[in-house]
Amino acid sequence: MLNTLDSRALQRADCYGQRFMKSGDYPYNIVPAHGALISTDRPFMVRVRDGDTKSGMNQHDVPIKSCAGRFEVPDPELVINVGDMVLWNCNDPNALPYAVVGDHEFFRSNRLVNESGFSHAFGTADDYHWIDAHGSGASGIVRVRDPGCKGEEDLKRWRQTIAKGTLVTINDRNVEPSEVEIVTGQTVFFLVTKGPGISIIDARLLYRSAEETGKG
Amino acid sequence: MAEIIAALDEQGANTLLDTTIGLIPPQSSSGSENLGPFVAGYSVVATLTNGDVDLIPPDIIRLVDLRVDWDLDLSFGFDLSSILPDFCIPQICIDIPCVGEVCTPRICIDWPTISIPVSFGDFVKATGDFRLDISLVGGVWKVQAVIVGIPNLQFGATTALLLAAIGAAATPILLAIPFIGPFLAIAVNAILLAIGIAGVTGFLGPILTPFISGLKIPIYEQPKLFQILPAESPVDPRVDITIDLIAAAVAHNGAEDELVLTADVSP
């Protein structure tokens, strides 16, 4: 399975979350990664209505299924209240990397603008220097350590550890904390409160891509 | 009575067989064979080295510690999920200040199918009894030592070493699989336990035994029509003799056993 850190190409251990702060209809599609500009179909809809905002933010999970190269959701029309968050994840082993793409500029998993998030469970121990492929200058480091499990007790401790997530908040170029240390299997939730439309990708992907196209 | 008699004692027979076995080129084979519960494709190259000769009347040459050096490339693939339970990342809830709690769903990972290539070399020794075989084929007399029966190859420490090589080869492949790191030792052990010593023996036996079980060691080869003097002039033509019959045996002669070749010849 793929487990690269790239919010532009969501994979199995990734989630994309978006809060909707204004009422209205928000059509969207789920397309293979980097296919956002090709497809103009918007078969799915998030209907945001003015509701009881005092009850706080509710979360709505959308489990994506992959079927013969197409992405499907159980309910094409989701009705939520203003201020709620919708979280998309595709736990299908056969799914290609994908993006959630809406008509509104803020509603795109490949360019996180505001009140949005991207979570990634890190499957391999390494140092991940992440950057914004769209050039905002936001960056940080996630140090993923091997838990060094030698026995049952170690594994038990590790399981408890991976049940805890780590939050990284991005506000324009400000990243807080800019460096985090976790163990293999742990999840980092990158929360974008405000930004020009950023992505979170392993810098090596960008450099490798540049080298392959002769622009390195 | 035979016109020509040649005899070799055990030391001489040892020297002869050192040479003839050393002239046998490396043999190779390839195919697929069960490696425990897996099916492994392989290619193997083997070379033989003579052991100690024991001549046993009336017609047995026993080779003690005949050595087979072998180099093996094998590769086997399997679905890791068949030996490891799938792993799930639990639901993660993160408190976002001033907003509330965001929870990711439980995400389950099923392990991929992997292929493990292994290169390994070692040797095995075997003791085999060879019977003398004489034939006249296409006008050429041949004396060969042909193995009797199928020797039992004893692999000993080889099996543990090959298992260790499989473990070493599997480790970097497993390390590249996301989320398996904490289970690496468990995964390697699961693979090695699935194969086991019996699996390695059951794999090596069928692929290495044929190098010995069908073994024929050439001892003597001579055309039936045998030139003993070349032509010197038109009035002094070449001189040939015909080997009418060849016999070979192991004979006990005094204190020694000897490999004896006899030939009946005619002009």
Mind listing the pLDDT tens digit for each residue in A171-187?
A: 988 999 999 999 999 99
Mean pLDDT across B143-156: 85
> Is the model's pLDDT at A190 over the cut of 70?
yes
User: Contact B244/B225 with Cβ under 8 angstroms?
Assistant: no
Residue A216: the pLDDT is 44
- What DSSP element (H or E) covers B16? helix B10-22
Q: Of B181, B104, B265, nearest to A190 (Cα)?
A: B104
The residue type at B164: A
Q: Of B193, B141, B189, nearest to B36 (Cα)?
A: B193
Phi, psi of A193 (to 5 degrees): -85, -35
The two tokens of residue A51 are: 């509701």
Are A13 and B107 within 8 A, CB to CB? yes
- A85 to A75, A80, A81, A82, B105: CA distances (angstroms): 16, 8, 9, 9, 14
| Strand ranges, E, within chain B | 4-9, 27-35, 38-49, 52-56, 60-79, 87-89, 92-96, 100-104, 107-109, 113-137, 140-148, 216-223, 225-229, 239-253, 256-266
- What DSSP element (H or E) covers B186? helix B184-213
Give the distance from residue A126's alpha carbon to the nearest chain B alpha carbon, in angstroms: 11
Measured between beta carbons, the chain A residues lying within 8 angstroms of B94 are 165-167, 189
| Strand ranges, E, within chain A | 14-19, 24-32, 44-49, 59-67, 70-72, 77-81, 85-90, 98-102, 116-121, 126-131, 139-145, 166-171, 174-176, 179-183, 187-194, 201-202
Residue B149: the pLDDT is 79
Residue A65's pLDDT band, with cuts at 50, 70 and 90, is: very high
Considering CB atoms only, which of A1, A13, A124 is closest to B89? A13
Q: Which residue has the tokens 């099923």?
A: B110
Q: How much of chain B exceeds pLDDT 70, in percent?
A: 99
DSSP helix/strand/coil, B30: strand
> Is the model's pLDDT at B174 over the cut of 70?
yes
Give the distance from residue A132's alpha carbon to the nearest chain B alpha carbon, in angstroms: 22
**Number of cross-chain residue pairs from A and B with Cβ atoms under 8 Å apart:** 98
Beta strand B60-79 with A24-32: parallel, antiparallel or unpaired?
unpaired
End-to-end CA distance of chain B: 16
Range in A8-22, A47-61, A79-93, B6-20 with the lowest mean pLDDT: A47-61
Q: CA-to-CA distance for A123 and B184, rounded, in angstroms? A: 13
> Is the model's pLDDT at A109 over the cut of 90?
yes
pLDDT in tens, B52-107: 999 999 989 999 999 999 999 999 999 999 888 888 999 999 999 888 999 999 99
The two tokens of residue B187 are: 């995964």
Are B94 and A56 within 8 A, CB to CB? no
Mean pLDDT across A69-85: 93
Measured between beta carbons, the chain A residues lying within 8 angstroms of B98 are none
Q: Burial level of A83, CB count in 10 A (0-12/13-18/19+)? A: buried
DSSP helix/strand/coil, B170: helix
> Is the model's pLDDT at B151 over the cut of 80?
no
Q: Of A128, A145, A135, nearest to A182 (Cα)?
A: A145
Q: Which residue of A has its CA nearest to B174?
A: A124
User: Contact B177/B111 with Cβ under 8 angstroms?
Assistant: yes
Q: Of B213, B42, B28, nearest to B118 (Cα)?
A: B42
End-to-end CA distance of chain A: 28
pTM: 0.80
Alpha-carbon Rg for chain A, nearest whole angstrom, is: 18
- B203 to A182, B75, B123, B172, B195: CA distances (angstroms): 43, 12, 15, 23, 10
The two tokens of residue A170 are: 């991005």
- B103 to A60, B107, B186: CA distances (angstroms): 10, 12, 30
User: Contact B253/B7 with Cβ under 8 angstroms?
Assistant: yes
pLDDT in tens, B101-117: 999 999 998 899 999 99
Phi, psi of B257 (to 5 degrees): -95, 140
Mean pLDDT rounded to a whole number for chain B: 91
Using a CB–CB cut-off of 8 Å, the residues of B that contact A are 89-96, 99-105, 107-110, 112, 175-183, 185
Q: Burial level of A89, CB count in 10 A (0-12/13-18/19+)? A: buried
Q: CA-to-CA distance for B226 and B240, rounded, in angstroms? A: 5
pLDDT in tens, B184-240: 888 999 999 999 999 999 999 999 999 988 889 998 898 998 888 888 888 888 888
Measured between beta carbons, the chain B residues lying within 8 angstroms of A85 are 102
Are B104 and A123 within 8 A, CB to CB? no
Q: Which residue of A has its CA nearest to B180?
A: A123
Mean pLDDT across A20-48: 92
> Is the model's pLDDT at A55 over the cut of 80?
no
DSSP helix/strand/coil, B17: helix
User: Contact A138/A175 with Cβ under 8 angstroms?
Assistant: yes
- A210 to A40, A203, A216: CA distances (angstroms): 28, 11, 5
Q: CA-to-CA distance for B126 and B150, rounded, in angstroms? A: 10
Q: Which residue has the tokens 């060879």?
A: B130
Residue A173: the pLDDT is 85
Number of neighbours of residue B60 by Cβ within 10 angstroms = 16
- What DSSP element (H or E) covers B201? helix B184-213
Mean pLDDT rounded to a whole number for chain A: 91
Mean pLDDT across A8-14: 95
> Is the model's pLDDT at A39 over the cut of 60?
yes
Strand order in the sheet with B225-229: B4-9, B256-266, B239-253, B225-229
Residue B98: the pLDDT is 83
Mean pLDDT across B6-10: 90
